[in-house]
Amino acid sequence: MSGMEGGPDDELLFGPEDGAVTAVRPHRPSGLPWPILVVDDDPQVHAMTAVLLRDFDFDGRPFEVVSALSAEEAKAVLELRPDLPVALLDVVMETEDAGLRLVRHIREELRNQRMRIILRTGQPGQAPERDVIVGYDINDYKAKSELTAQRLFTTLVSALRAWRDIVTIERNRQGLERILNASASLFEMRSMRAFVEQLVEQIARLVDPGRSPSVLACRPLERGDGSRSVALVAGLGVFARSIGMPIAEILPAGAAAEIEDVLLSQRNLYQDDRCVLVFRTREHGVTVFRLEREEPYTPDEHRLLELFCNRVAIGFDNVCLYEELVALNRSLEQRVEERTTELAANQKALILAKERVERALECELLAHDRQRQFLGMVSHEFRTPLAIIDSAAQLLAMKAEQVEPEMLERLAVIRGSVQRLTGLIDVHLTDERLQSNALVLERAEVDLPDLIRSVVRPFCVAYPDREFRMELDGLPRRVEIDAHLIGLVMTNLVNNAVKYSGSDSAILLHGDADGAMAVIEVTDHGRGIPAPEIPHLFDRFFRGSGASGIPGTGIGLHTVQQIVLLHGGAVAVDSELGRGSTFRVVLPV
């Protein structure tokens, strides 16, 4: 503590050695260093700590000193490196209790419970050990005079082992949570093919969440000539495009041999960078899963995979039983069909009905084609006069500024109406292009808050008695989107908010950023949506019970959802009957 001159410990950075050091490493290890955070206002302490730790290693990994000369500097380091396992903290630095305040910051503000904190002080009387141990969440308390090189090494190894155990417990807990979540969804599967495909995805998430490891599922198949081959039935990563092919044509000879060995031994195989798992069922034989990634699989992951295999084996049996029930049901139906003359008459009626349906479908397709032609004609024939009206309104507005300013508001209403009519045409044309898969995004860098304001502006003019509140400062200024289509999305949502809420209620547009996503919410205080209707709200042509008496086509929200999905986003709604609704659009930025 360089700030305390004349103290008895100023010259004693560490205590004298109390014996020969036996943990000195004979050679420099090549493993990733253990980072040790040293917080002390005396540079000599940092230098001496680095010198003492230079000759030690633990588990084949050397030590690395991460220095901070003050508590504030340590906070900055922890912001950048929150995963540091051990911290050696001085108590008295820029203030007499700077180290203790840093302990509170780590535990309470950063919520870092994994880091092992060791207080190392040159003046034990300044912070009595009993009071500090009881009042602060630290893991050890050492005086510099007693901390020899050997004891420093012993203290750090004990702390690192405790940190490693805590991290292992957390990883196992997270793995168990993923197992429970994965198995719950798997038990809902009813088709063996769907079950295997879903199982491939869940295994990938279990061992490598957030990444995309290579996973394949294969099964032995009997050919018509009596020969046997092992074919791919599901896969992720590099195997996704090879479903149905023999593994001998997909995998190297060694990998294919490993699968054959597992099929023969009926036991899981674990290697450093790959695992081969076997699932057995009563009637559907054996399915083998092969997982491959760059990082080695740990023993803890092996145990998690064993537990996962045991748990989902029940799901295999359930799917088998379900398929047996389906087969029995089909057999029963076949017997009833063979013995019932009434079914023959029904079958004849069904054929006649099918013919009528086919004729109706032909008529519908013809009507749909004529509708497409009509929409194209409407778009062409309506846009030109609308553009003329808009241009005329602009010219009149330019003259009215000088001659009759009171006309500007009426001209603005005309222009707003023209824009809404143009938007209605765009919605129908966009829906038509969506249904025919002809819609292509034209992405460009757009000022998202400014785009939303430009959408709301005509509504402010057309509904001067309505209040439109916009809180858009939290949105990113620049995003890569199709401005025209996102404008249609916002126009639909704002128009619905206007139609389904009273004239005396405000409409709120709120925007914020959530990581790499932009979140836009349109909230009204209108009639709300009944809960049973919410799952169907984005269906094409669906209109809820609250839409009675309000003009609309039922395609607006469907178009909104399709446009947002094309952008890689999502749209959702929260609504309470009689209290209003909030539509939430999430877009990647």
The domain that holds 535 is classified in CATH as 3.30.565.10
251 and 171 both lie in a single domain? no
CATH number for the domain that contains residue 248: 3.30.450
Written as tens digits, the pLDDT of the chain (589 aa) is 433 333 333 334 455 544 434 444 455 556 789 999 999 988 988 888 888 888 888 888 899 999 999 989 999 999 998 889 999 988 888 888 888 889 889 888 888 888 888 888 766 655 566 667 767 878 888 877 777 788 888 888 888 888 887 877 776 666 555 555 555 554 454 555 566 666 666 666 655 555 566 778 788 877 666 677 888 877 776 777 787 888 888 888 888 888 888 888 888 888 877 888 887 765 566 788 787 776 677 777 777 777 766 666 666 666 666 666 776 777 777 777 777 777 677 778 888 888 888 888 888 777 666 666 665 666 556 666 766 776 776 677 677 766 677 776 776 777 667 666 766 666 666 666 666 665 678 889 999 999 999 989 888 877 888 899 999 999 998 899 988 889 888 988 998 888 888 878 899 999 999 888 999 999 999 888 888 888 888 887 788 777 776 766 677 788 888 889 988 999 999 999 888 999 999 999 8
Query: Could you tell me if residue 347 is inside a domain?
Result: no
Amino acid 371: pLDDT: 62
Query: Could you tell me if residue 64 is inside a domain?
Result: yes
Rg over CA atoms, the chain: 35
Please state the φ and ψ torsions of residue 62, each to the nearest 5 degrees: -75, 180
* Domain extent for 270: 189-297
Query: Could you tell me if residue 8 is inside a domain?
Result: no
141 and 56 both lie in a single domain? yes
Question: Residue 112 in contact with residue 139, Cβ under 8 Å?
Answer: no
Q: How many Å apart are CA 219 and CA 222, to the nearest integer?
A: 10
Q: How many Å apart are CA 136 and CA 103, to the nearest integer?
A: 7
Category of 63 on φ-ψ map: left (φ > 0), alpha (ψ -120 to 50) or beta: beta
* Helices (H), ranges, 227-340: 253-265, 299-339
Category of 536 on φ-ψ map: left (φ > 0), alpha (ψ -120 to 50) or beta: alpha
What does the chain come to in residues?
589
Q: How many Å apart are CA 365 and CA 351, to the nearest integer?
A: 21
564 and 517 both lie in a single domain? yes
161 and 273 both lie in a single domain? no
Query: Could you tell me if residue 322 is inside a domain?
Result: no
| pLDDT tens-digit readout, 24-52 | 445 555 678 999 999 998 898 888 888 88
Instruction: From 147, 176, 205, give the residue that closes a domain.
Output: 176
Query: Could you tell me if residue 264 is inside a domain?
Result: yes
Query: Can you state the angle between helices 556-566 and 408-435, rounded to 10 degrees?
Result: 70
pTM flag (> 0.95) = no
542 and 453 both lie in a single domain? yes
258 and 231 both lie in a single domain? yes
| pLDDT tens-digit readout, 126-185 | 556 666 776 787 888 887 777 778 888 888 888 888 888 787 777 666 655 555 555 555
**Coil, strand or helix at 504:** coil
44 and 80 both lie in a single domain? yes
Instruction: From 122, 153, 176, give the residue that closes a domain.
Output: 176
Query: Could you tell me if residue 23 is inside a domain?
Result: no
Triad 8, 11, 13: Cα angle to 5°: 105
Question: Residue 90 in contact with residue 45, Cβ under 8 Å?
Answer: yes
Query: Can you state the angle between helices 341-400 and 408-435, rounded to 10 degrees?
Result: 150
Instruction: Enumerate residues 6+ apart whose C-beta is below 8 A from 514.
Output: 586
469 and 544 both lie in a single domain? yes
Number of domains the chain contains: 3
259 and 281 both lie in a single domain? yes
Query: Could you tell me if residue 97 is inside a domain?
Result: yes
AA identity, residue 559: T
Whole-number Cα distances in Å, 544 to 152, 529, 541: 71, 8, 10
Please state the φ and ψ torsions of residue 65, each to the nearest 5 degrees: -90, 120
271 and 136 both lie in a single domain? no
Give the helix/strand (H/E) hosting 344. helix 341-400
Instruction: From 276, 297, 318, give the residue that closes a domain.
Output: 297
527 and 460 both lie in a single domain? yes
Q: Burial of 133 by CB count in 10 Å (0-12 exposed, 13-18 middle, 19+ buried)? A: middle
CATH number for the domain that contains residue 126: 3.40.50.2300
228 and 166 both lie in a single domain? no
Query: Could you tell me if residue 390 is inside a domain?
Result: no
**Residue linked to tokens 């004298």:** 16
